[in-house]
Amino acid sequence: MTATIPPTKTIAARAVQASKIYGTGDTAVHALDAIDVEFPSAEYTAIMGPSGSGKSTLLHCVAGLDSLTSGHVYLGDIDLSTLSDKDLTRVRRDRVGFVFQTFNLIPTLTAIENITLPIALAGSKPDQAWLDRIVDTVRLRDRLSHRPSELSGGQQQRVAVARALVTRPEIIFADEPTGNLDSRASAEILGFMQRAVQEFGQTIVMVTHDPISASYANRVVFLADGRIVDELRDPSADAVLGKMRKLGGE
């Protein structure tokens, strides 16, 4: 099944017949099996599915961190499969933001240095007004000069979210960004991401296992065995849970 969206919206990223196969012959694993999916701008998409269904693989491929075995991924108009490592790096730096589950920050850099890292790597100066706004949004003003080891897990993830926002990327990818946090800290992070979508028109794609997390999104895409099997708009936690049960396993 193909996940579609209303035709009026612009598309931030999309995958076309995207396949990813690990290994060959008998041991070959179809992590992604000819997937077609679109992520519209200014939308918050959650990706769900059983463990091993290919969520991370999809995220990595669309984000330009990994390459497909066949098919195409587009970021805006750019076909990522045609880019060199150098160009892919630039795309990641300028047009994409990342939030990982753990180990999001460079331990030797302070919070503010971590936030502005992509800009520094590009050799440019941050837009101070925008930076202030992000820092205030994630409420880190009093922690800016701390190193990651001096921050709590929740604070570290907030720094990661701020870093993802700082370049005003076309799209932010988050792989289980709250997987290691308690419910209160999770709610905070998810709230920030939701605000980013609503207030700044940010596009976010987030992998999650948690129906409550998924309920923050505008849309949930369900994956199983490397294929998109279902989709839900404006989901509630209960509805997501129901779908997941149907997919089995959980």
Partner 1 sequence: MWKVTFKGLAGHKLRFLLTGLAVILGVSFISGTLVLTATIQKTFDDLFADINRGTDAAVRAHEVFSDFGGAQRPNIPASLLAIVRQTPTVEAEVGNIQAFAQVVDKHGKPIGGNGPPTFGLGWDPNPKLNPFHLVVGDPPRADDQIVLDKHTADTGNFHVGDEVTVLTSRAPRKYKLVGIARFGTVDSLAGASITLFTPREMQRVANVKNQFSQISVVAKPGVSQTQVASDIARTLAAHGKSQYEVITGKALTKETQNTVHKALGFITTALLVFAFVALIVGMFIIYNTFSIVVAQRMREMALLRAIGATQRQVLGSVIGESVVVGLLASAIGVAAGVGLSIGLKGLMNALGFGIPGNGVVLRPIAVIVGLLVGSIVTIVSATIPARQAARVPPIAAMRAVALERPINRVRRVGIGGAIVALGIALLLSGLFGGRGLLFVGVGALLALVGVFVLSPLFARALARVIGGPLTRFRGIVGSLSRENAARNPRRTATTGAAVMIAVSLVGFITIFAASANASIGSAIDQQLKTDYIVTVKGSGGNPGLSGISPELAKRIAALPEVQSSTPIRFGEVAVAGSHTFVLAADPKEIAQMYDFGAVTGSITDLTPNGIAVSTRKASSKHLKLGDLVPVKYVKTGVVPLRVQFIYKNNGLVGDYMISLANYERNFAQQLDFQIFAKLKPGVSAAQGRKAIEPVVARYPNAQLKDNAQYKADQKSQVNQVLILVYVLLFLAVIIAFIGIVNTMTLSIYERTREIGLLRAVGASRRQVRSMVRWEATIIALFGTVLGLLMALFFAWAVVRALHDQGFTKFSAAPIRLVIIVVVTALATLLWASLPARRAAKLDVLRAIDQD
Please choose which of Mg ion, partner 1, ligand ATP, none residue 123 contacts, taking the beta carbon within 5 to 8 angstroms, the exact cut-off set by kind.
partner 1
Radius of gyration (Cα) for the chain, nearest Å? 18
Whole-number Å distance between alpha carbons of 81 and 70:
9
Choose the stretch contacting ligand ATP; rule: CB under 6 A; options: 49-57, 83-91, 127-135, 231-239.
Answer: 49-57
Q: How far is the CB of 75 from partner 1 (least distance, A)?
A: 14
The contact pattern for ligand ATP, residues 52-91, with x = CB under 6 A and - = no contact, is xxxxxx----------------------------------
For Mg ion, the closer CB: 56 or 114: 56
Considering the complex, what minimum distance in angstroms separates the CB of residue 103 from partner 1? Answer: 5
Choose one: 8-16, 45-53, 87-95, 120-128; the region binding ligand ATP (CB under 6 A). Answer: 45-53
Query: Should residue 103 be labelled a site residue for ligand ATP when binding is judged by CB under 6 A?
Result: no
Contact criterion met (CB below 8 Å) for 137 and 166 = no
In the complex with ligand ATP, the residue whose CB is nearer, 42 or 65, is 65
Does the protein bind partner 1 through residue 103 (CB under 8 A)? yes
The residue ranges that bind partner 1 (CB under 8 A) are: 56, 60, 65-66, 85-86, 89-90, 92-94, 98, 100, 103-109, 113, 117-118, 120-123, 163
Residues of the shown chain interacting with Mg ion in the complex, contacts defined by CB under 5 A: 56
List interacting residues with ligand ATP (CB under 6 A).
22, 29, 31, 49, 51-57
